[in-house]
Amino acid sequence: MDAISSLSRPYVYVWIEGAYGTETVQLAFTGVGVKPTEDDWRAAEWNTASITREGAEARVLVGPGSPNELPVGTYDVWARVTAPVEQPVMLAGQLPIV
């Protein structure tokens, strides 16, 4: 993932293969190499313009004035999709905040 300035407030997007875009989706931002705990999960939403037969993009707003302010540092970004039977959790990449 590209670096984000700590002064900006953008969406962070995570592509989730196989998602329908109707499931509950959450993202977590943890220290590098740290698995998320239940308190780390943040409500995300689907980017409806991205939904295809292959999957969909989840997104969450980060930065000043958002519910997800991240201090300068590098974070592992995790995604969790809750479907009727399955609940996959996946490491999506690393996000530098500069």
Tell me the average pLDDT across 64-71: 96
Tell me the average pLDDT across 39-68: 97
pLDDT of 53 reads: 96
How many domains, the chain?
1
What does DSSP assign to residue 62? -
Inside any domain, residue 29 = yes
Task: Spell 40-73 as b/e; 16+ CB within 10 A means b.
Answer: ebbebebbeebeeeeebbbbbebbeeeeeebeee
Tell me what percent of the residues of the chain surpass a pLDDT of 90: 99
Range of the domain at 37: 11-97
The amino acid that residue 87 corresponds to is Q
CB-based contacts of 86, cutoff 8 Å, min separation 6: none
Inside any domain, residue 1 = no
Nearest to 62 by CA among 47, 82, 77, 81: 77
Inside any domain, residue 48 = yes
69: CATH: 2.60.40
